[in-house]
Amino acid sequence: MRWVRFLIWLVLGLGVLWGGYWFVGARALERATQAAFEDQRAAGLVADNSAISVAGFADRFDLTISDPHLADPVSGWGWQAPFVQILAMTWKPWHVILALPPTQAIQSPDGQNVTLTSSRLMASVMMQPTPALPLKRAVVEGEGLTLSSSQGWRIGVDKGVLAAELSPTQANTLRLGADVGVLTLPQAYANLKDLGPVLTALHLDASVTLSQPIDSSLSDPHLLGVSLTQFHITWGAVDLTATGEIKPDAKGLASGQIDLHLTGWQSLPAAAVALGLVPPANEVSLQRGLEFLAKASSDPKVISLTLKLTEGQMTLGFIPLGPAPLMP
C-alpha cells in the first residue's frame, strides 16, 4: 500500500504548493493595485478607494476595489462607483473579466454629473500568454443601460456589444465590431417628424492596423490604417451606410475615401430646424441642396456622397471641408 501513501502525500504536497501560489499571487495583486493608485496620485490625479481585497481561494483571483474614485483636476473628468471587480482564473491569469456595478457616476468638464445605470455591464480582456501580454481579444457587453444628466437629458440602450479581436492573418491588425440594439435619445427628439426619439439599429464592422501590438509596455502604437467594412445606422425613416479605407500619407495625414449612402434624407431639414441646428429661414435652402445631391446620384431616393481625403485636404462630394487630420 506504499503507492497509496505516496499518492496521498503527492496530492497533499501539490495542494500546499497550489495554496502557496494563490496566497503569493493574491498579495502581489493587492500590492500592484495599491501601487497603481499611488502612481496616479503622484501624477497629480485623484485616485482613491476605501479597500482593496482579493478572494476566490484557491482557483480564482477575485480582486475587489471598494469605492474607487478617479478624476483629473485639470481636464475636469471624473468617475466613481461603489465597487469594481477584476476576476481571473488562477490557471489562466491572462484572461480577466471586469464586473461593473449597477450605478456609476461620471463628472464632465462642463460641470455635468452623469449617472450611468445598468442591469448588466461587463468586460472581458484576453491577452496572449507571452511575457509582453499582447492583446488578443476584448469585449464589452451591456444591458439596460441609461445615462442620466444633471442637466436633464437622458439616453438609454437596451443592449449593446463592443468587441476588438486580433486578426490571425494580418500583423498588428484588430478587427472592431459594435452592435447596439434600441437606442433611446433625449426627449427633445420625441416630436421629430419621421424620425422620433429611437435609433433601431447601429452596426459597425471595421479593422485598424497598428505599428505595434497593444501590450503591457503601455506604449502608444501609431495608426497605420482604418478599413471600414460596414457602418449602418437607422433612425426612423433615415438610413445611413458607410464603407471605405483611410491610411496615412507620406506626411502622416489621413488619405483615402469613405463612401456614404443616405436614404430618408427628406426628413432631415425639418429636424435640423426643430433641433436648433439650422435657422428656420434656411430650411428651404437646405432642402433644395439635398434635392440637388439626390439628383446627382444614380437613385434620386438615395444621396450618395464620397468623403475624400487627399493631398492634405478633405471634401464631401463637391463641398470642401478643410485640412485632413493627422493620423496618430
Q: What is the pLDDT of residues 141-192, one digit of tens each?
A: 999 999 999 999 999 999 999 999 999 888 899 999 999 989 999 888 888 8
278 confidence band (pLDDT: 50, 70, 90): confident
pTM, 2 dp: 0.84
Confidence of residue 9 (pLDDT cuts 50, 70, 90): very low
pLDDT given at position 108: 94
Q: Are 263 and 269 in contact (CB under 8 A)?
A: no
Distances 84 to 40, 80, 187, 229, 316 between C-alpha atoms, Å = 17, 10, 32, 35, 44
pLDDT value at residue 3: 47
What is the rounded CA–CA span in Å between residue 286 and residue 272?
A: 9
Domain spans of the chain?
A: 1-103, 118-236, 238-328
- In this prediction, residues 263-278 reach a mean pLDDT of 87
